């Protein structure tokens, strides 16, 4: 009985595929195309939303790293929009040949842009991460009136404290942990249980 329960999701998935019908069958090909188009459209929307969220986050915190972060969000947005547009074009009623062409374009554009984005992120990830951390450390070491609002905003937004941890604030001019590290309002910054630990932002 336990084995049957474990296999239940797989059985349900197979039943759904049977309802769609075999892919080579001409009568059921449209069902499969609609199914895959929906999958690609959702993934395109996810890429687009991720890019917009990253762009808004870097803009709001003012921690844009010259040359890298502002490119990456827009690459994700362009990738998402391209996938969605291609899926929409593939879904337009057209002749059989044109229909196949647009659907093949979905797969091709999706694969190429995904590989491009993955390679781009992999190539620059370490640089982005190290530069972002260096910026945080610099702001902590130069914690003054001009930078307090920025660091407080970052720590409130990401619920973190410092670049590597609360001990980073020992390098600040005041050598004190700011209230923005607190998990609750009016906490005791000297109590480790009441302050945030570091959260890896990137």
Rounded CA separation 104/95 (Å): 14
Residue 119: the pLDDT is 73
Q: What is the pLDDT along the chain (202 residues), one digit of tens a residue?
A: 444 444 444 445 444 444 444 444 444 556 666 777 777 778 788 888 878 877 776 665 555 555 555 667 777 788 788 778 777 766 666 555 555 666 666 667 767 777 777 677 677 667 767 777 887 888 888 876 665 577 887 788 778 888 888 888 888 888 888 888 888 877 887 788 888 876 555 5
The Cα-based distances of 64 to 36, 39, 109, 113, 166 in angstroms read 36, 32, 29, 24, 23
Closest C-alpha among 58, 42, 102, 53 to residue 77? 53
Residue 70: the pLDDT is 61
Residue 16: the pLDDT is 47
With 0.75 as the threshold, say if the pTM is over it.
no
Residue 65: the pLDDT is 53
The Cα-based distances of 20 to 7, 65, 94 in angstroms read 20, 48, 22
């Amino acid at each position: 009985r336990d084995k049957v329960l474990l296999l239940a999701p797989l059985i349900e998935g197979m039943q759904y595929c049977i309802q769609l019908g075999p892919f080579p069958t001409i009568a059921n090909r449209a069902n499969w195309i609609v199914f895959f188009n929906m999958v690609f459209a959702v993934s395109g929307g996810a890429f687009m939303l991720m890019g917009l969220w990253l762009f808004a986050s870097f803009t709001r915190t003012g921690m844009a790293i010259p040359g890298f972060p502002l490119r990456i969000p827009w690459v994700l947005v362009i990738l998402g929009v391209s996938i969605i547009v291609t899926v929409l074009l593939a879904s337009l009623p057209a002749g059989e040949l044109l229909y196949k062409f647009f659907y093949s374009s979905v797969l091709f554009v999706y694969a190429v842009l995904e590989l491009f984005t993955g390679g781009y992120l992999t190539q620059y990830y370490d640089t982005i991460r190290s530069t972002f951390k260096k910026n945080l450390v610099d702001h902590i070491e130069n914690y003054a009136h001009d930078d307090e609002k920025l660091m407080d905003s970052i720590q409130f937004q990401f619920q973190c404290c410092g670049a590597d941890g609360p001990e980073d604030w020992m390098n600040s001019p005041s050598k004190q942990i700011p209230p923005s590290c607190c998990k609750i309002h009016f906490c005791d910054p000297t109590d480790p249980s009441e302050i945030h630990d570091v959260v890896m932002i990137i």
